[in-house]
Amino acid sequence: MSERIQSATNSLVGILGKEWVRSDRTTLISYARDIFMPGYLDLRRGKIENLPWLVCYPENIDEVKKIVKIAQEKKIPLIAFGGGSGVLGGTIPVKGGVMVDLKRMGKIRSINKINQTCEVEAGIFGEDLERALNREGWTLGHFPSSIYCSTLGGWLATRSAGQFSAKYGKIEDLVISLEGVLADGSIFHTKATPRSATGPDLDQVLIGSEGTLGIITSAILSINPVPKVQIYRGFNFEEVEGGLEAMRVLMQRELVPALLRLYDPMDTKFNASKLKAPGSGCLLVVGYEGGNKELTELKARLGFEQLKRSGGKDLGEEPGLAWLKHRYSVSYHQSKILSQAGNLLDTIEVSVRWSEALALYQRIRERIEKIGLVMAHFSHAWRDGVCIYFSFLVNDPEPEKLREKHFQVWEGAMSACLELGASISHHHGIGFYRSRWLKQELGVGHQILDKLKKELDPNFIFNPGKLGLGEG
């Protein structure tokens, strides 16, 4: 251990106590990877790299502030860590450094019934937060499929979106204010107001910054009453094109549901038995929920009628309810597939306007099909477009060739997005892996980000190697 790290360790122990500063090998190993898929190739080969130098566990914002000051003084990278469920390597300490695990900061500070908000610390797991809110009659309405293993801090850092975002909003819509620490050790706490016209929205600068501009320690979030009525339904469309058009019409006709997902033929086949739906055509699941029974039922009836008019075959409520029951099941396939040598699977989620949606879907699918197996669903729909969520499997007995095939898939998908004016990420973020395409995605915007980074964090202590920042 170098003198600089030893000295930082001593200072951190002085602040947090010995128990909360750990450098044993088993701890370091468990922070060296997140859910970035090629990382599992290393695990398969017993290769251990990207070990952090230390892991520390602050309990409050003052401790975070002190940690940041030490890091600044010693020029040591700090990587904020929640659940480590990111799939783009966002928390991998690619340049070494100290992990700042925020899970000891997992309290719900308050629930404000008048304003319908809650103040929550960043280290809380999604499922713990949702359950605690439900006990009081509230829901955050944020349901990413990673809810069991991801934290509020991670959602904020990556601009997460949940399965019911069409009704409740994406994470950036739920945030009323943020609290955290900047690289100079100053604490920021944005004002909790319903809206303001006071210059650019600083919350939105920090949301999605992936720990590169500051460490978010808590947030005030908007909450909703737990819905009293939930109405779900399955429909079948002959092909993707018709299903996509039906989604667009629904989203643009005051009939916005809580849930709307369309599976392509391969994804439909894959999910048919679990979702109790026919294995051919394209399955669409739709759900309305709310506190007003009459209103929810009316919207659902009109929405379902519209889907039928758009060519959908009504499958009844069973596929919708089956989807609800298994909505987090997809991640369990990972172990089964990855535990077989030669396999590598991954997902790519992209965002595209309706006008280019079908073309992008076809282009990416065709490119991936040349390399491996691919299926897709349209997971989130908006007034102006949709998220396409591709799942793919590549296979090769040679690990390096497997890694190369995996990259070819990504290259094909990302370049298709750039060619058609789509966004390279809808809700998984950038991490280090997607950084190589980010400059092209953002154009001058990336220079603005880079300047912001240099101004706010001139020593690059916050999560270096991510978002392509500081790389010239």
Q: Which residues bind another protein (CB under 8 A)?
A: 22, 24-27, 29-31, 35, 40, 43, 46-48, 55, 57, 83-85, 101, 103-104, 123, 125-128, 131, 135, 146, 148-149, 328-329, 331-332, 334-336, 338-339
How many Å apart are CA 313 and CA 285, to the nearest integer? 12
Between 74 and 103, name the residue whose CB sits nearer to another protein.
103
Between 74 and 327, name the residue whose CB sits nearer to another protein.
327
Residue at 14: amino acid letter: G
User: 368 near 413, Cβ under 8 Å?
Assistant: yes
Least CB distance to another protein at residue 138 (A)? 15
Least CB distance to another protein at residue 105 (A)? 9
Between 91 and 425, name the residue whose CB sits nearer to another protein.
91
User: 150 near 144, Cβ under 8 Å?
Assistant: yes
Q: Which residues, including other chains, have CB under 8 Å from residue 427's CB and lie 6 or more apart? A: 144, 158, 159, 160, 161, 170, 349, 380, 387
Least CB distance to another protein at residue 63 (A)? 13
How many Å apart are CA 364 and CA 353, to the nearest integer? 15
Between 97 and 257, name the residue whose CB sits nearer to another protein.
97
The encoded tokens of residue 303 equal: 């929405």
How many Å apart are CA 176 and CA 23, to the nearest integer? 37
Between 24 and 294, name the residue whose CB sits nearer to another protein.
24
Comparing CA positions, the residue from 41, 48, 38 lying closest to residue 341 is 41
- State the chain's maximal CA–CA distance in angstroms: 71
SS3 218: strand
Between 31 and 232, name the residue whose CB sits nearer to another protein.
31
User: 117 near 225, Cβ under 8 Å?
Assistant: no
DSSP state of 122: T
Least CB distance to another protein at residue 339 (A)? 4
Between 433 and 437, name the residue whose CB sits nearer to another protein.
433
Between 138 and 382, name the residue whose CB sits nearer to another protein.
138
Between 49 and 239, name the residue whose CB sits nearer to another protein.
49
Between 29 and 298, name the residue whose CB sits nearer to another protein.
29
CA torsion 289-290-295-297 (nearest 10°) is 30
Least CB distance to another protein at residue 6 (A)? 19
Comparing CA positions, the residue from 95, 7, 111, 102 lying closest to residue 63 is 102
Comparing CA positions, the residue from 344, 285, 125 lying closest to residue 133 is 125
CA distances for 442 relative to 155, 200, 215, 368, angstroms? 21, 18, 23, 24
Pair type for strands 373-381 and 385-395:
antiparallel
CA distances for 451 relative to 13, 202, 207, 445, angstroms? 34, 15, 17, 10
Least CB distance to another protein at residue 35 (A)? 5
Least CB distance to another protein at residue 314 (A)? 29
The encoded tokens of residue 284 equal: 């669409």
Least CB distance to another protein at residue 90 (A)? 14
Least CB distance to another protein at residue 80 (A)? 14
Least CB distance to another protein at residue 297 (A)? 31
Taken as a whole, the chain contains a residue count of: 472
